[in-house]
Structure formats: C-alpha cells, structure tokens
Amino acid sequence: MREPLSRLHIPEWLILIGSSLFIAVLTISAYFEPDIRWLHFFQAWMYVAAILLGLRGNRWGYFIGFSAALLWDYANLFVTTFFMNGIEELIRCASPGHHVRPDLLLAIPAWLSNLTLIVGCVWAYKRMRTKEPFDIVRLLLAFALTTGFFAGAMELFQPRYLAMFPELLHPRWPIIRP
C-alpha cells in the first residue's frame, strides 16, 4: 500500500526535498553548461530511484540515496573545488560591482540538497523496525552500483570528469581563497 504525502514523516520529506532540489539543480546547471545535459539526465535517475523506493520504505532507496549523495558531497568537498568555488562566489557577491556567476552559486544548494538526502536516508533507515545483518552488504553493493552507474554515465557523456575517481582515495581539505 502506498502512503499518501500527508502521511510522510520528516525523514521521507528530507529524502523527497533533498532529491528533488538536487534534480532541479542538475536541470538548471545543464542550462548553463549544455554539454553536461546527458550526464545530468542519467545522474538524476539515481535520485528518482531514491525518491520512489525511499517513499515506499524500501531500504534500497535509502541505500541508493545515501550512496549517491555521499559520493557527490564527498567528491565536491574533498576532491573538486566546485563547492568551495560556490562558497567563494557567495562571499564575493557581497562586493560592490561583482558580476555574479550563478553557475558557481549552484554548488551550494547542490551540496546542501545532497546533505539533506543523506540525513533523510540515515534517519529513515534507523526508524526501520527490521534491520538485517546483510544490510551492510546491501549498502556496500548500492554504493558500488551507484558509483559504477555514475562513472559509466561519465564515461559515455563526460569522460573528462573521470579523473576525479582516483583522487577520491586521496582527499584534500577544502580551502577558501581570500
């Protein structure tokens, strides 16, 4: 039986809001950078899966949402400069006469929406009445599959971004440049 939206609890709302906001950011980002449209189209499907499965109380939805969002937030905090560039752009917006770069500012809601999804997935999973020892294997499998799906989409549509994958194992602390 499907649960109507009025019967959703906070964790499900966090999953819905975090995923939906990130899908919106992917769409807006594709407007600014048309060559990433297909990559973002396929990336969005992981978030759609998290919504559809998560709102049904399916642990796979929590594992997919958690995995996709954690990878994205981790990579954009410790591997790429995307998130920090967004923070720096937000700080520069306070300067008079600064030409605003909305493509950089999108990094902030993108990162926060993924964080919201992570919190929602963890919270929803913790509320589940039945947890199984095999769930850790399911989580690791979901992480491997979402990472592989993301890498496959990159390979097909934006191979230049694949260079970030080896760097995932060598994170660096984010720095805000003055």
Give dist(CA 48, CA 27) in Å, integer: 13
**Residue 178 belongs to some domain of the structure:** no
Q: Kindly list the distances between the CA atom of residue 66 and the CA atoms of 14, 23, 70, in Å, as whole numbers in the listed order.
A: 12, 15, 6
**Residue 47 belongs to some domain of the structure:** yes
**Residue 88 belongs to some domain of the structure:** yes
For 40-75, the pLDDT digits (tens) are 999 999 999 999 999 999 999 999 999 999 999 999
**pLDDT per residue of the chain (178 residues) written in tens, 0 to 9:** 455 556 789 999 999 999 999 999 999 999 999 999 999 999 999 999 999 999 999 999 999 999 999 999 999 999 999 999 999 999 999 888 888 899 999 999 999 999 999 999 999 999 999 999 999 999 999 999 999 999 999 999 999 999 999 999 998 888 777 6
53 lies in which domain range? 9-165
**Residue 177 belongs to some domain of the structure:** no
Instruction: Give the 3-state secondary structure of residue 133.
Output: coil
Overall number of domains in the chain: 1
Task: Say what the pTM is.
Answer: 0.93
Structure tokens at 23: 């899908």
H or E, element range at 50: helix 37-54
SS3 per residue for 72-120: HHHHHHHCCCHHHHHHHHHHHCCCCCCCCCHHHHCHHHHHHHHHHHHHH
**Residue 4 belongs to some domain of the structure:** no
**Residue 175 belongs to some domain of the structure:** no
Give dist(CA 74, CA 172) in Å, integer: 11
**Residue 136 belongs to some domain of the structure:** yes
Give dist(CA 165, CA 155) in Å, integer: 12
**Residue 21 belongs to some domain of the structure:** yes
Q: What is the torsion angle, in degrees rounded to the nearest 10, for the CA atoms of residue 36, residue 98, residue 18 and residue 14?
A: 180
